[in-house]
Chains A and B, each alone.
Chain A
Amino acid sequence: MGRPGSASTLRRRAASAALAAATVVALAGCGGAADDGLPTINLYYAPEENLGAVVAACTAQAGGRYRIVHRVLPRGADDQRVQMVRRLAAADTSMDILGLDVTWTAEFAGARWIRPWDDASAAEARRGTLAGPLESATYRGALYAAPKNTNVQLLWYRADLVTSPPRTWDEMIDTALRLKAQGRTHRVITMGAQYEGLVVLFNTLVASAGGQLVPDPGARVVVDASVERAADALRRLATAGVTSPSFSNAMEDAARLEFQSGGGAFQLNWPFVYPAMREGAPELAAKVRWARFPALDHSRPSRVTIGGYNLAVSRYSRRPAQAFEAALCLRSAAHQKHSAINDGVPPTIESVYADPQMAEAYPMRDTILAELRDAANRPLTPAYQNVSTVLAAALSPPSRIGPDTVEELRDAVQAALDSKGVLP
């Protein structure tokens, strides 16, 4: 029990004064205006090593009207989303531009957390942009984001084991079986763990079979012959004896490492594996070539699922006009080229691929571009997180896909689309 005026009261007073001072400092740090009085446009974006130069260039381009600050989000995709979602649910006015994974754009638009782009800015964002990435940024006919970068998986194969790359899924498995019979390196390495990567693979297979799990406007799941065909293809890969024992547990980096240490003849993975291989295993990299993702039928080219990031403007931003302008600058053709060369993220503007400087950084750019021209998106629905969760659960492990799986999938995905029931 402290008496009034005792030492403990004084200490407490000093403590609360210190707390107040700290709060003032913290608030000043959060405020829109910094020392020089320039308004700040806050860009919430994943860590990207050389984004700083782009941000600086766009601040310079603003000519003293505003300054862009990159607020670095966590590295993990889930953590990025959760941080933005929590701030938006609390109507945080300090966020202006948001870096959204292609699969979150519909969700944020559905929750009315991001603004539809006005006609002039939208026209600018659409100009020269590839159709697939653009589709991922569109919700109910309106553009809600500007595609900043895209991504697409390729087939990586060992030219010392096969002379020409397999064109179809079955051809790939048969070639692997033949290599296996000869006692040579034969494995097909890709991501089969119960997570987003498995959904990406399945979505590619469904699209390659000519289907679409959730066609526009994204309210009903369609389980047709193409979905069955995709499920069959996935099961065949998992049960043919050509995958690694850790297939049902492998994510991107584990797959990359296994192939990079010489464990496979084929790898289905994102382009980041190539620079990593050139650095980590140069002799192997010299033997590795790339090709378009295998098709399901000879008559129909594969349609590959795209990844990537879109830039959106928060509904709670106090400076939406400047935010749209800044977002357009951050994803301009010149800056996309910079990011592609320095950070390895494939551009969404088609003309950038033709740039001579891209040839060195992107030897596989023609294949990437060919896949991007008729790429497939994952279901564009606000409930995508739910859909992805139940899809991954229903398809895992791929070796146990059976006749009931497709039926199960229909009910589970529909419930997820309606955001009914409980997420595991």
Chain B
Amino acid sequence: MSTRLSRGRRDERRLGWLLCAPAALVMLAVTGYPIVYSFWLSLQRFDLKFPDQRRFVGLDNYAAVLSSDAWWTALSVTGLITVVTVAVELVLGMGLALVMHRTLVGRGLVRTVALIPYGIVTVVAAFSWRYAWTPGTGYLANAFANGDPLTERASALAVIMLAEIWKTTPFMALLLMAGLALVSEDLLRAAATDGATAWQRFTRVTLPAMRPAILVALLFRTLDAFRVFDHIYVLTSGANQTSSVSMTTYNNLIKGLNLGIGSTMSVLIFIMVALVALVFVRLFGAAAPSGDGEERR
């Protein structure tokens, strides 16, 4: 009886592996192959407009991209957008998460309303922002701007960041709310009994306990923000040096038909995203609480 059971179990395990295998193989094929292919393309001079000039050029494309002003401008714009939006979203998202967590009346309604921006398709939202900021037709432009804010670099970047923050703060809040659920009420009550103020309870008890959730939220949003594309595409199409790295890659790859340079940019973005992820995971790994929920320092 027992051998039969263990054999059944072994079979089940094997079946499990077999059932997983197709998915794992498909994943490898759809992620691994494009990555390798992009890297291979990035080592070639390959411009669809000049099919006869295709040849292997080693790292020339990397030299061309890394020595171009356009790339570094785009990278600094992307960095600025990432840092500003993620920072603002963290603060606003935390506030929103606390509200959603603590509300007693109309909880479902509050949560639903808070999630509306996240539910709207990004391109649709971006078009609303564009029309709102267009002089003549837009209520925001008529109320707050003289001139066309989307045609000046600083104001256009501000509008892009505003749209981005409005759109993804609910997502941040959702992730943080999951973290808030981890904070033990007993601990908070004990701290209150010991005379801790609300602020002290928040910074000394809530935040440390939420640290893993905060790091996950930051990781997700940083990776997301770094690849910002749709808002810029709709709001300015990259005019007045408001291109992000994704936008520049699109311009070279899809519009410029230069597969070599475009793939080089894709590979560079991939490397940077991987680095960000690595740093966060390291940080996250070090900060993760051990099994009993105690944090080690």
Most chain B beta carbons < 10 A, residue from A82, A111, A246, A421: A421
Listed in ascending order, the chain A residues whose CB lies under 8 Å from chain B are 78, 81-82, 85-86, 89, 107, 110-112, 194, 246, 249, 382-383, 385-386, 419-424
Q: How many residues of B contact A (CB 8 A)?
A: 27
Report if B192 contacts A (CB, 8 A).
no
Report if B58 contacts A (CB, 8 A).
no
Given A111-B257, A249-B151, A422 contacting B48 (CB threshold 8 A): no
Contact of B64 (CB < 8 Å), options: A110, A112, A421? A421
A95 CA to B272 CA, complexed, in Å = 39
| Chain B nearest CB, measured from A3 CB (Å) | 12
Report if B78 contacts A (CB, 8 A).
no
Can you list 9 A-B contacts with CB-CB less than 8 angstroms, sorted by A residue number? A86-B254, A89-B48, A111-B48, A194-B240, A383-B50, A419-B256, A422-B248, A423-B252, A424-B70
Q: Which residues of B contact A419 (CB under 8 A)?
A: 47, 49-50, 256, 258
Q: Is the CB of A82 within 8 A of B49?
A: no
Report if B263 contacts A (CB, 8 A).
no
Contact of A112 (CB < 8 Å), options: B51, B71, B148, B239? B51
Contact of A424 (CB < 8 Å), options: B51, B64, B243, B254? B243
Q: Is the CB of A194 within 8 A of B48?
A: no
| Chain B nearest CB, measured from A89 CB (Å) | 6
Q: Is the CB of B255 within 8 A of A422?
A: no
Given A78-B255, A82-B255, A422 contacting B49 (CB threshold 8 A): no
Q: Given A422-B64, A423-B255, 6 more contacts at CB 8 Å?
A: A81-B255, A85-B257, A419-B50, A422-B261, A423-B258, A424-B73
The 8 closest A-B pairs by CB, nearest first: A422-B68, A424-B70, A382-B49, A419-B47, A423-B256, A249-B151, A422-B70, A423-B252
Contact of A421 (CB < 8 Å), options: B68, B73, B239, B255? B68
**Interface residues as binary, B109-127 with A (CB distance below 8 Å gives 1, 0 otherwise):** 0000000000000000000
Contact of A111 (CB < 8 Å), options: B49, B65, B71, B73? B49
Q: Is the CB of A382 within 8 A of B255?
A: no
Q: Is the CB of B255 within 8 A of A385?
A: yes
Report if B142 contacts A (CB, 8 A).
no
**Interface residues as binary, B174-211 with A (CB distance below 8 Å gives 1, 0 otherwise):** 00000000000000000000000000000000000000
Q: Which residues of A contact B151 (CB under 8 A)?
A: 249
Q: Which residues of B contact A85 (CB under 8 A)?
A: 48, 254, 257
A107 CA to B50 CA, complexed, in Å = 9
Which partner residue on chain B sits nearest A416 by CB separation?
Answer: B256
Which partner residue on chain A sits nearest B260 by CB separation?
Answer: A419
Q: Is the CB of B70 within 8 A of A382?
A: no
CB proximity to A under 8 Å, residues B85-121: none
Which partner residue on chain A sits nearest B48 by CB separation?
Answer: A111
Report if B128 contacts A (CB, 8 A).
no
**Interface residues as binary, B233-261 with A (CB distance below 8 Å gives 1, 0 otherwise):** 00000111101000010011011111001
| Chain B nearest CB, measured from A2 CB (Å) | 11
Q: Is the CB of A382 within 8 A of B254?
A: no
Which partner residue on chain B sits nearest A420 by CB separation?
Answer: B64
A110 CA to B243 CA, complexed, in Å = 28
A363 CA to B148 CA, complexed, in Å = 36
Contact of B251 (CB < 8 Å), options: A112, A382, A420, A423? A423
Which partner residue on chain B sits nearest A424 by CB separation?
Answer: B70
| Chain B nearest CB, measured from A111 CB (Å) | 5
Given A385-B255, A386-B256, A424 contacting B49 (CB threshold 8 A): no
A420 CA to B51 CA, complexed, in Å = 15
Contact of B239 (CB < 8 Å), options: A81, A82, A194? A194
Q: Is the CB of A424 within 8 A of B251?
A: yes
Which partner residue on chain B sits nearest A86 by CB separation?
Answer: B254
| Chain B nearest CB, measured from A58 CB (Å) | 31
A419 CA to B258 CA, complexed, in Å = 8
**Interface residues as binary, B38-70 with A (CB distance below 8 Å gives 1, 0 otherwise):** 000000000111110000000000001100101
Q: Is the CB of B256 within 8 A of A385?
A: yes
